[in-house]
Chains A and B, each alone.
Chain A
Amino acid sequence: MSRIADVVMKPRAGKLLVPFFTAGFPDMKTTVALVKAAADAGADMVELGMPFSDPLADGPEIQHSSKAALDNGTDLRAILKAVEQLQREVDLPLILMGYYNPLLTYGETRFLKRAASVGVDGFIIPDLPVEEAAGFKTAVESNRMSAVFLVAPTSSPDRVRLIDKYSTDFIYAVTVTGVTGAGRTFGTDTDRYMRRLKKQLTKPFVAGFGVSSAESARRLTRYADGVVIGSALVKIIRNAANRRSCLKHVSRFLAEVRGAL
């Protein structure tokens, strides 16, 4: 059984806590430290964002962090190197999330092989819907990694089934129609949608986009098997005065959410 399957099937504290960090923001050294801090704070796995020049599914926070990461020279090679280091130091599944063009440019087959060899556990590509992903899914799985697809509030029951089938171990449920960004409040609409997913999906699912408090995380996990927290963390990191306070605030926030799940 893969590490992801292992974690997803039996999370240690009931629900999955999945932090997202933009790799290389504010710099790769801090990213590595953040992943370790997240592991200590009780994260079940971590998503690392591969920055792209035109992140069209992302709101201002992740747009900004992506640009900053690119400006300091973060590329796929640097990210793989960081993953390699992290895999020696923490026991935590790492998922890479990013747009398709950089992968395509590196060479899809070559990149996936290399990613698997340094210990990447899975992939989320927000601009690669299932229709375009047959080859990608096969390549990811043949390298013994996990392909994670997104489901949205607008996905029809047929599409939900297809996404369920395509995803190797679990599904990423986008909470609301929109781009990434913290500070949403989730109402009864979201409850209804989460309940529908619980019924229609056969695999576990985590909810993400706009999750910014322990309270919203708790509400979503009434039905979802976990939450992804991204923009809220990126914002804490952006506002931190230095690396130490950045790590401190991120750890505190994650511990608080962990406590609520």
Chain B
Amino acid sequence: MRSKKPVQPDKRGRFGDYGGRYVPETVMYALDQLTRCYRHIKHDAAFKAKFKELLSSYVGRPTPLYYAERLTAHLNGPRIHFKREDLTHTGAHKINNTVGQILLARHMGKKRIIAETGAGQHGLATATVCARFGLECVIYMGAVDIERQAPNVDKMQLLGARVVPVESGSRTLKDATSEALRDWVTNVRSTFYIIGSVVGPHPYPMIVRDFQTVIGRETKQQCRRVLGRLPHAVIACIGGGSNAIGIWEPFLKEHKVKLIGVEAAGYGLSSGRHAATLKRGRPGVLHGSYSYLIYDSDGQIVLPHSVSAGLDYPGVGPQHSHLKDSGRVVYQAVTDKQAIAAFKLTSRLEGIIPALESAHAIAWLVKNAGEFKKNHQVVICLSGRGDKDMGILADWGRIAP
């Protein structure tokens, strides 16, 4: 008998219990409109061809699967492969999604684009596609993040975007997202909101996932071609969780492939200063969806902490919450210190400077290489490049080992 696999998300935008649409009434019509438009365009041959063409000639796909020979030798564990999203145009996987969403925005006739950004990678990717298609672009970014990811701010401005510093709350990604939502509520008729991760109200977690799935499709093909088999494990860092969902999606039904998500433990899981939403949070509602969330006993959101701006967020995509509860994915966390060490190690052993976000995924393997046999094949999603993080590294002391 063929088992009927439930479609994820369901009609109400739920992955199991998680997801939904917890937003002001004003934007409900825009979500309906977006859902309808996406359902239609998803199967449209011209749209698919245009998306594919841009991913190839503009983004630079497919990205290579790279065997990290010296890191493998150094850890004396499994054979390590990097999926090189750092080699995409603008230097992170975020561009896969913004290319898809800008096509949607154009199709819907929207002339103004807004986005939130943490590390600045999504802001940069959004500013880039806005320049490419000649659309007005406003990026909301926390004042703290503007300071710690300054190179990306300069780039966004060079590309013609207006970067609005957000001074409320923790002045990081959480507040940038709230401010972007407020803009959207105000300008919903003219404006398309390009959300940067698999978070927010339905249909965003689904749309962003679908646009990022190209990472996983390529990885699966490359594994088959180069390794002659599927990998034993695929490891990715989790903030909102878009690079992770993107690389995992084609492996979700391959039950022999271990999927490991790595969150930011900040100063440590018991320090109270971390961004390990799935490890330490509970289900709750923020920014449009029901998902794991970090909040206090009164339901107020707690300021998260991570050295990595892209992971410094108190929520996580609803599909991850579902994958956690179902047990399909194992979620782990590493500290700021471990991530910084992995950042340096990878730079010196492989000549690749990874984003601090991606360094979390590497750090988990550095710590746990012993869990694998030497002939095991492990893929790490190298979601972005680390040039943007040089300033943070300098704050952490000596750059040389």
A interface residues with partner B (beta carbon < 8 Å): 52-57, 59, 63, 70, 75-76, 99-106, 126-129, 131-132, 149-156, 159, 163, 174, 177-179
> Which of B12, B25, B175, B287 contacts A150, CB < 8 Å?
B25
Taken together as a complex, chains A and B put the C-alpha atoms of A178 and B24 apart, in Å, by: 10
| B8 sits at the interface (CB 8 A) | no
Q: Are B22 and A132 in contact (CB under 8 A)?
A: yes
Q: Mark B312-336, 1 if CB is under 8 A from A, else 0.
A: 0000000000000000000000000
Which of A55, A132, A150, A163 is the most central at the interface, judged by chain B CB atoms within 10 Å of its CB?
A132
> When the two chains form their complex, are residues B29 and A156 in contact, meaning their CB atoms are under 8 A apart?
yes
Contact present for A54 and B285 (CB under 8 Å): no
Q: Residue on B with the closest CB to A163?
A: B25
CB–CB B285/A154 < 8 A: no
Known contacts A106-B299, A154-B189, A177-B189; is-contact A57 B22 (Cβ 8 Å): no
Contacting residues of chain B (1-36) with chain A, CB-CB under 8 angstroms: 12, 20-30, 32
* CA distance in complex: A75, B296 (Å): 11
The answer for the CA separation of A150 and B25 in the assembled complex, in Å, is: 6
Given contacts A156-B29, A178-B185, A178-B186, contact A70 B22 (CB under 8 A): no
Q: CB-CB < 8 A to B175: which residues of A?
A: 54
* Most interface-central of B29, B189, B301 (chain A CB within 10 A): B29
Q: For residue A154, which residues in chain B have a CB less than 8 angstroms away from its CB?
A: 25-30, 188-189
What's the Cα separation between A76 and B30 when bound, in Å?
32
Tell me, in angstroms, the Cα distance from A54 to B178 when the chains sit together: 7
Q: By the criterion CB–CB under 8 Å, are B299 and A101 in contact?
A: yes
Smallest CB gap from A103: residue in B:
B299
Pick the residue among A59, A75, A132, A153 that contacts B26 (CB under 8 A): A153
Task: Give 1 or 0 for each of B274-288: 1 = CB within 8 Å of chain A CB.
Answer: 000000000011111
Q: Quick one: which of A63, A129, A152 contacts B168, CB cutoff 8 A?
A: A63
Provide a sorted-by-A list of 24 A–B residue pairs whose CB atoms are within 8 angstroms.
A53-B300, A54-B169, A54-B286, A56-B182, A99-B285, A105-B295, A105-B297, A106-B298, A106-B299, A126-B24, A127-B285, A127-B288, A129-B21, A129-B22, A129-B25, A149-B25, A152-B29, A154-B25, A154-B30, A159-B28, A163-B25, A177-B186, A178-B186, A179-B186
In contact, A101 and B286 (Cβ under 8 angstroms) = yes
Nearest 4 pairs of A and B residues by beta carbon = A105-B299, A102-B299, A152-B26, A178-B186
Quote the shortest CB–CB distance from A31 to chain B (angstroms).
17
Residue from the set A70, A154, A159, A179 with the largest chain B CB neighbour count within 10 Å: A154
B277 to chain A, nearest CB (A): 14
Which residues of B sit under 8 angstroms from A156, Cβ to Cβ? 29, 32
* Distance of A163 from chain B, by nearest CB (Å): 7
Q: Give the shortest distance, in Å, between A174 (CB) and chain B (any CB).
A: 6
A206 to B285, CA, bound (A): 27
With A53-B300, A151-B25, A178-B185 in contact, do A101 and B174 touch (Cβ < 8 Å)?
A: no
Query: Do A152 and B301 touch (CB < 8 A)?
Result: no
Does B301 lie within 8 Å of A53, measured CB to CB? Answer: yes
Specify which of B25, B168, B189, B299 is in contact with A155 (CB 8 Å cutoff).
Answer: B25
Q: A101-B285, A105-B298 are in contact. Are A177 and B187 (CB under 8 A)?
A: yes
A156 and B31 CA atoms in complex are apart in Å by 12
Contacts of B295 in A (CB 8 A): 101, 105
- State A178–B29 Cα separation when bound (angstroms): 14
Which of chain A's residues have a CB closer than 8 A to the CB of B187? 177
Q: Are A104 and B299 in contact (CB under 8 A)?
A: yes
Q: Look across to chain B and name the residue whose beta carbon is closest to the beta carbon of A125.
A: B22
Are the C-beta atoms of A132 and B21 separated by less than 8 Å?
A: yes
**In contact, A150 and B24 (Cβ under 8 angstroms):** yes
Contacts of A159 in B (CB 8 A): 25, 28-29
Q: Which of B172-214 contact A (CB under 8 A)?
A: 174-175, 178, 181-182, 185-189
B293 within 8 Å of A (CB atoms): yes
Shortest Cβ distance from B63 into chain A, in angstroms?
A: 35
Q: Contact: B185 with A100, CB < 8 Å? A: no
Given A75-B298, A76-B298, A105-B295, are A53 and B169 neighbors across the interface (CB < 8 Å)? yes
Q: Name the A residues within 8 Å of B32 (CB-CB).
A: 156
Bound state CA distance, A101 and B284, in angstroms? 6
CB-defined contacts of A99 to chain B, threshold 8 Å: 285
The residue that A57 contacts in the complex, of B24, B168, B298, B299, with Cβ under 8 A, is: B24
Central interface residue in A53, A57, A163, by most chain B CB within 10 Å: A53
